[in-house]
């Protein structure tokens, strides 16, 4: 019998905890169990809906026959709309030539890492972090290095720890604010301090800003606005703020005051060409998203604020669980006291909760084996009634374990 074909080693490094846990839930569903999915940040799966004017714009584009290949870097009208939005909302001056439209932020991360990372390069990522930054760093031969964020201070980046981990191999520093998975919103002082470190060490800042308009108490500060003299690659999209997760349209932009990112920008554009283009009709709808009514954003944030407040308070009422209050996005990242004693790992904890209660979370070590261990991530997207049911089941589970 012939041996099985082997996959390239780089593919074996890919992990995505948020979806990797789903297979266990699906196995239980097939056996007749009802599952409450609190693992994926998809508001449209709950009682949030894509704004009507976006749907109409998509349908009109399709009806008009605008179903052709678009420019590889994205429709010019959309790139101009992005520039207007970034100036209006975030105070950033960029031109359409600085913008590349992508199939979601995930493709933007892929393009950026492919353009930046050579074998042996190091990427500083917040610990915990959104998994693609770690996986794509490894995929292209780099080494992700997690810098500490301080749980007791709302998961604020530890500047001293970042400084201690910069080496001759460091290529860039990743910022995620508002943060996935912790909900932290980095203040302008913190960003300025990180920017100064980047300037001193000739590093690029990658700034993930997909949740830029989903903030509660804090004001969002864009890295490019605060770090005026730094080289910043920003990543953003339409999945979260514009409630269009399945449409898969995003963008990246280059804030390049000294013209030092030209080669990186061209490398990204070459990748955009080889994959042809992002979805053309959906880009038409994305223009309508940026230039059309924005009323739904305030309504969405107020709705989320109430659910955030409930979920944060309720989790902290469960003995054996403590949770820092998220300031943005729609995630909670609670600590479980008992990992290492009652459960060997947070992954074991999450899977046992799933088996016993039917509630699916994501294990914290899937976001960082060092700074995420002992935690789990939950969304607070569902209605309060659903959250109440899920957290009641979690409390009963914790009580059964003698918390």
Task: Give 236-294 pLDDT, tens digit per residue.
Answer: 999 999 999 999 999 999 999 888 999 999 999 999 999 999 999 999 999 999 999 99
Residue 287 backbone dihedrals phi, psi, to 5 degrees: -60, -45
Q: What is the pLDDT of residues 297-321, one digit of tens each?
A: 999 999 999 999 999 999 999 999 9
Tell whether the torsion through CA atoms of 77, 50, 85 and 259 is positive or negative. Answer: negative
Give the span between the Cα atoms of 18 and 367, in whole angstroms. Answer: 9
- The secondary structure of residue 4, as a DSSP letter, is P
What does the chain come to in residues?
403
Domain ranges (residues) in the chain: 9-49+296-400, 52-291
pLDDT of residue 16: 63
Beta bridge partners of 326: none
Share of the chain above pLDDT 90, in %: 86
Q: Determine the pLDDT at residue 172.
A: 96
- Say yes or no: domain 9-49+296-400 is CATH 3.40.50.2300: no
What mean pLDDT do residues 126-143 have?
Answer: 94
Please give the residue that has the higher pLDDT: either 4 or 70.
Answer: 70
* Among the listed residues 234, 169, 151, 160, the one whose alpha carbon sits nearest the alpha carbon of residue 190: 160
Secondary structure of 56-106 in HEC code, one letter for each residue: HHHHHHHHCCCCCCCCCCCCHHHHHHHHHHHHHHHCCCCCHHHEEEECHHH
Residue 6 has pLDDT above 90, yes or no: no
The predicted-structure confidence for 314-343, as pLDDT tens digits, reads as follows 999 999 999 999 999 999 999 999 887 888
> What are the b/e assignments for 212-250, b being 16+ CB within 10 Å?
bbbbbeeebbbbbbbbeebbbbbbbbbbbbbbbbebbbb
HSE of 230 in the Cβ direction (CA atoms, 13 Å)? 28
Q: What is the DSSP string of 332-355?
A: E--EETTBTTTBSSHHHHHHHHHH
Is residue 375 pLDDT above 80, yes or no?
Answer: yes
pLDDT tens digits, residue range 72-98?
Answer: 999 999 999 999 999 999 999 999 999
Bridge-based pairing of strands 170-176 and 250-255 is unpaired
Phi-psi domain of 57 (left: phi exceeds 0; alpha: psi -120 through 50; beta: other): alpha
Residue 25 has pLDDT above 90, yes or no: no
pTM of the model: 0.93
> Mean per-residue pLDDT for 48-55?
96
Q: What is the pLDDT of residue 17?
A: 61
Taking domain 52-291, whether its CATH number is 1.10.630.10 is answered by: no
């Amino acid at each position: 019998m012939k041996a099985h074909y082997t996959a390239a080693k780089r593919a074996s490094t890919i992990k995505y905890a948020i979806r990797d846990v789903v297979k266990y839930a699906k196995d239980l569903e097939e056996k007749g169990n009802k599952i409450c999915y609190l693992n994926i940040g998809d508001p449209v799966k709950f009682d949030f809906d894509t704004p009507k004017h976006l749907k109409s714009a998509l349908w009109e584009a399709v009806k008009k026959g605008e179903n052709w290949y678009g420019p590889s870097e994205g429709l010019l009208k959309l790139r101009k709309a992005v520039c207007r939005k970034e100036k209006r909302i975030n105070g950033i001056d960029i031109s359409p030539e600085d913008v590349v439209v992508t199939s979601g932020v995930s493709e933007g991360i892929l393009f950026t890492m492919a353009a930046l990372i050579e074998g042996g390069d190091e990427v500083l990522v917040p610990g915990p972090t959104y998994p693609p930054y770690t996986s794509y760093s490894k995929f292209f031969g780099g080494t992700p290095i997690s810098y500490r964020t301080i749980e007791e201070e709302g998961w604020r980046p530890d500047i001293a720890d970042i400084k201690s981990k910069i080496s001759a191999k460091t290529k860039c520093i990743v910022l995620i604010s508002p943060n996935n998975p912790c909900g932290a919103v980095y203040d302008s002082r913190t960003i300025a301090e990180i920017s100064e470190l980047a300037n001193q060490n000739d590093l690029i800042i990658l700034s993930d800003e997909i949740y830029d308009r989903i903030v509660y108490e804090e004001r969002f500060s864009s890295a490019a606005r605060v770090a005026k003299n730094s080289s910043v690659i920003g990543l953003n999209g339409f999945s979260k703020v514009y409630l269009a997760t399945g449409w898969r349209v995003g963008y990246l932009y280059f804030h390049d005051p000294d013209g030092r990112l030209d080669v990186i920008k061209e490398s990204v554009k070459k990748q955009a060409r080889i994959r042809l283009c992002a979805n053309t009709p959906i880009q038409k709808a994305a223009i309508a998203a940026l230039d059309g009514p924005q009323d739904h954003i305030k309504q969405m944030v107020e709705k989320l604020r109430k659910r955030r407040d409930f979920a944060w308070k309720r989790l902290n009422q469960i003995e054996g669980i403590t949770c820092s209050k998220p300031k943005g996005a729609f995630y909670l990242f609670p600590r479980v006291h008992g990992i290492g004693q009652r459960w060997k790992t947070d992954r074991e904890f999450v899977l046992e909760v799933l088996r016993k209660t039917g509630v699916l979370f994501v294990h914290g070590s899937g976001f960082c084996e060092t700074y995420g261990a002992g935690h789990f991530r939950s969304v607070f997207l569902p209605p309060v009634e659903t959250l109440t049911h899920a957290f009641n089941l979690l409390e009963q589970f914790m009580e059964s374990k003698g918390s």
